[in-house]
Amino acid sequence: MEIAITFVPLASLWVLAWAALHFGYWWLSLLLAIPAAGFLVRLFMIQHDCGHGSFFCHRMANDWVGRVIGVLTLTPYDFWRRTHAIHHATSGHLERRGIGDVDTLTVREYLSLSFWGRLRYRAYRNPLVMFGLGPAYLFILQYRLPVGLLFAGWQPWLSTMATNVAIAAVVAVLIWFVGVWPFLLVQLPIILLAGSVGVWLFYVQHQFETTFWAHEDRWSFQEAALHGSSHYDLPGILRWFTANIGVHHVHHLCSRIPCYRLPRVLREHPELGRVSRLTLLQSFQCVRLALWDESRRRLISFREIDRRRVYDGDIGASV
């Protein structure tokens, strides 16, 4: 039922967007891309649960549904499942960063960089790159190769190449029916918008001011899950489209709970609703956060560190 009420509306909206474009209503086609992107995001969340083995009771059902959905979301399922498992096992661990997460530097690491190194990190953290160019690059280009696991054996390569072949086949069929430009004008807005929303969700789930990062001696899985993952308390319609992924702290604590049972966890354990809670309005303030301040144990902005450096420089000059 969850798959049906997600895929059928997505396919219907795609056809309607093509029909609107075919009859000259390009503006309507663009408007229809918005809800279509929402359903594609929801489809990705189902794939996400399949990757954790939680959507169905049987692993084979999870894996094959996940692989099929991966063709539609441009995400090689088996490769992504492996990197995402690494993310869950290392979230908030300062010594084990780099796979399946948003690159985050500590203040000390940032200040030790050269001018060009700081500029590169600032560019990476710019909202236009993080939520605009970044998602397009990630889903359209980067996922065509098993980046991060290039030398981890044949399985990541098999996953990505098989997904690429399946994507090429689906694209070829659609282009044969509707043509190259209509396909691109319908599909690209949906993919780009859904990709940006997906990256935004992943970002705010871990990049909030009071998140958790620690070295080996102070890191624990439970604390990283509950305090390093947010409870993104979204309005009801957005909770539905994102398949309750906002209950991310509970998800990290026990990833075998399927998305359709996460609200039940909050109802039965209301104290969890107050842990790491982040509202939609509060989440927009997370965009400016970029550096982990180990002394204050919170994320800070570039402006804060620049202001601190200017203040320390003025103190030094006066002395």
Tens of pLDDT, residue by residue over 210-245, are: 999 999 999 999 999 999 999 999 999 999 999 999
pLDDT at 314 over 50: no
Length of the chain, in residues: 319
pLDDT at 310 over 80: no
Query: What confidence score (pLDDT) does residue 154 get?
Result: 86
pLDDT at 319 over 50: no
Q: Which of 253, 254, 252, 234 is nearest to 244 (CA)?
A: 234
Contact in structure between 228 and 104 (CB atoms under 8 Å): no
Q: What is the pLDDT of residues 11-70, one digit of tens each?
A: 999 999 999 999 999 999 999 999 999 999 999 999 999 999 999 999 999 999 999 999
Q: pTM of whole model > 0.85?
A: yes
Contact in structure between 230 and 248 (CB atoms under 8 Å): yes
Dist CA 38 CA 241 (whole Å)? 6
Confidence of residue 313 (pLDDT cuts 50, 70, 90): low
Residue 247 sits at φ, ψ, to 5 deg, of -80, 60
Query: What confidence score (pLDDT) does residue 315 get?
Result: 40
Q: Give 16-82 as a DSSP string.
A: HHHHHHHTT-HHHHHHHHHHHHHHHHHHHHHHHHHHTT-SSSSHHHHHHHHHHHHHHHT--HHHHHH
pLDDT at 318 over 90: no
Dist CA 126 CA 107 (whole Å)? 17
CA distances from 115 to 1, 106, 118, 313 (A): 53, 16, 5, 18
pLDDT at 170 over 50: yes
Most confident of 155-159, 241-245, 313-317: 241-245
Confidence of residue 207 (pLDDT cuts 50, 70, 90): very high
